Structure 1
C-alpha cells in the first residue's frame, strides 16, 4: 500500500524537506489517528518541538508529556499521539538516510492497562494496514522467553542485550522492529507495568515509498524552520543558541534559507569573520575556547569557511 507523498527537490530557494514533512504528517498521522480512534484510544497531535518539561531544550520523544504518569500507580489508561521531536545528538549523523534531527514520532502510551502482548498486536495490525511487515524484531535476552510467544511466530526474533530504555529513574526492557536494516520503532515496558511505543513517521515513509533521504542541508533547513515555527528566535542561550548554531552551519556548508533570521546570521558571521582575520595574527596561540568566550568566534567554522 503506497502512501501518497511529494518528491522533494532539495535545491536552493525551491521546495524543501519541510513540504515533504507536511505531506508525511498529513497522510501517516491521519491514518494512525483513525486507527487509534477505531480502537477507542484518544489521540492528540503536537507539531511544536517545545519541551513539555525542563529536562530538555526541545521535545525529544513523544512520551515526554506523559512522564509523570508512568510512576503514578493511581493513573490507569491509554493514549496515543503524534509528536514533533528534535534530537541534537543526531546532528553529526544527518544525511545518512536514517537520522533526521527533526522528526515526527507516532506514539502509544498505556499506564497499567495494555500489556506488551497487546501493544505488539496493536502495532503489527497497524503496520499491516500500511502493507508493512517487519523483517525481524529484537528482544532483550532477559525477556526472550516471556515475550517470544507474544509474537506467535509471526515475525523472526533476534536476541539483543541492548534492548533496554531509561529516562532517569524510569527504566524498562524493549522490543525493536526492523525493516530493510533500519529500526522503525520500538515497544518499551517501563517499570514492567506500562507501555511506551514510538515509531518514526519519516522512517516509515522512507520504507513504504522509497522516499529519497534528505541531504544534510535539506535536513538543517527543515529543522531550523520547525524551531522558528515553534516560537524561537536566534540568541545566545538555550534554544536560541541552538537555532543560531544551525543557521551558522547552513551558512558554513554553503547553503541558503529564505528567512530574515538567516540573513541576519550571515551578516553577523561576516562581521565575525572580518574580526577573526584581523585579530588572528595578533593572538596566534589562543585556544578555540578563548576565541569563543572572548569574541564569540567559532574557530572551526571560520577555518572551514576560509579553507585553512
Structure 2
C-alpha cells in the first residue's frame, strides 16, 4: 500500500474514533450539567487547558480557579464545572488505560455550604443515573469513624492512610471512589469546611460507555492538539516547550499528527538527527546532558530512532 494512502486511511480512522469519543464524552458532560442544574447548582464548562493562575503551566485541576474562595472564610456558595486539565507528570504512565495527560474533570466545589455527607449523596446519586455503583470507597483512618456512617451501608469501605490531598496551601482529608481497580473520583474536605470533588470524565466513559482506553500514541496526539487548541505553539520555554516535547515524542514513536506544527517538528528532528550523526564520533565522551544543553539533542531519543 502506498504510504500516502496508508496515511489517509490512518487519518480518516483517527477522525472517526475521535468523533465517537467526543460524542459520548459530550453526552456525559451534558448529563452531569443537567444533574447539577436540577440541584440548583450553577454549571460552567471550560475547554482550554490554560491555567487560571501562575502556579502551573496548564490547568491541572478543576479547583484551580476557586482557590481564593476556599481561602476566604466569608465566602459561601456551591458551583460545578467540567474543566479540561493537563498533567505532564503522567507522561511515562500513559497507555495503561487510566492515565491520559489531557483529561476532563467533572467538578463540584462548595465553600462552607455543602457537607461531606451531602457531597457523598450527590455523587452516589449521579453515578446511579449512569448505572454505576462503586466497587468500594476509601476513607482516611482519621475520618473513618466520622465519615463511614455517611455512606449508610451503600458501598463497601476500606481504610486508606493516603486519602489526603494538598495543593501546597490548601489541604484536607478525602474519600475516594473505585471501580474495577481504578479510582474514578474523590471528595476532598479542604480546611475541614469545604468540598472539592472531582471525577475523571474519560475514566467514567471507559466504564459507562465501554469506550476503549486510548493507546499511548493516541493520548499523545490528543494532548498535543488540546495544547494547540488552547492557543499555544511550539517553542523553547514553558508551554511551548511542553508542546514541542509532545510532538517530538509522537515523532520518535513513529506516530502521525495531521497538523503543520508536527510537520515542522519532523523536519526539525531530521536536522537534529543529521547533526547528531555528524558529531557523535567526535564527541563520543560527552554526556547526554551536554548533548541536550549544547545542541538540543536528546541522545536517548536518537538511540531509540536507531533501534526503530
TM-score with structure 2 length normalisation?
A: 0.95
Q: Are the equivalent residues in 2 in contact too, given 1:105–1:199 (CA < 8 A)?
A: yes
SS at match of 2:185: strand
Counterpart in 1 of 2:29?
29
Q: How does 1:1-308 map to 2 (within 5 A)?
A: 12-16=10-14, 18-307=18-307
Q: Are the equivalent residues in 1 in contact too, given 2:234–2:240 (CA < 8 A)?
A: yes
Unaligned runs of 5+ in 2: 1-8
Q: Tell me the CA shift for residue 12 of structure 1.
A: 2.8
Per-residue deviation, residues 180-209 of structure 1 (Å, max 9, x unmatched): 111100000000000000000110011112
Counterpart in 1 of 2:6?
none
Per-residue deviation, residues 81-135 of structure 1 (Å, max 9, x unmatched): 0000111011101000111111110000000000000100000010111111111
Q: Are the equivalent residues in 1 in contact too, given 2:44–2:80 (CA < 8 A)?
A: yes
Q: Are the equivalent residues in 2 in contact too, given 1:62–1:85 (CA < 8 A)?
A: yes
Q: Tell me the CA shift for residue 212 of structure 1.
A: 1.2
Unaligned runs of 5+ in 1: 1-10
The separation in 1 between residues aligned to 2:157 and 2:44, in whole angstroms, is 32
SS at match of 2:71: coil
Q: Tell me the CA shift for residue 20 of structure 1.
A: 4.2
Q: Tell me the CA shift for residue 24 of structure 1.
A: 3.4
SS at match of 1:137: strand
Counterpart in 2 of 1:5?
none
Structure having the larger proportion of residues in helix: 2
SS at match of 1:12: helix
Per-residue deviation, residues 61-91 of structure 1 (Å, max 9, x unmatched): 1001101111110111000000001110111
Q: Are the equivalent residues in 2 in contact too, given 1:24–1:202 (CA < 8 A)?
A: no
SS at match of 2:174: strand
Higher relative contact order structure (alpha carbons within 8 Å, sequence separation ≥ 6): 1
The separation in 2 between residues aligned to 1:41 and 1:166, in whole angstroms, is 25
SS at match of 2:90: helix
Q: Are the equivalent residues in 2 in contact too, given 1:51–1:58 (CA < 8 A)?
A: yes
Q: Are the equivalent residues in 1 in contact too, given 2:163–2:176 (CA < 8 A)?
A: yes
Q: Tell me the CA shift for residue 22 of structure 1.
A: 2.0
The separation in 1 between residues aligned to 2:235 and 2:300, in whole angstroms, is 20
SS at match of 2:33: helix
The separation in 2 between residues aligned to 1:20 and 1:196, in whole angstroms, is 30
Q: Tell me the CA shift for residue 169 of structure 1.
A: 1.7
Per-residue deviation, residues 145-167 of structure 1 (Å, max 9, x unmatched): 00001001111100000000001
Q: Tell me the CA shift for residue 18 of structure 1.
A: 4.1
SS at match of 1:212: coil
Q: Are the equivalent residues in 2 in contact too, given 1:25–1:104 (CA < 8 A)?
A: no
The separation in 2 between residues aligned to 1:158 and 1:202, in whole angstroms, is 24
SS at match of 1:284: coil
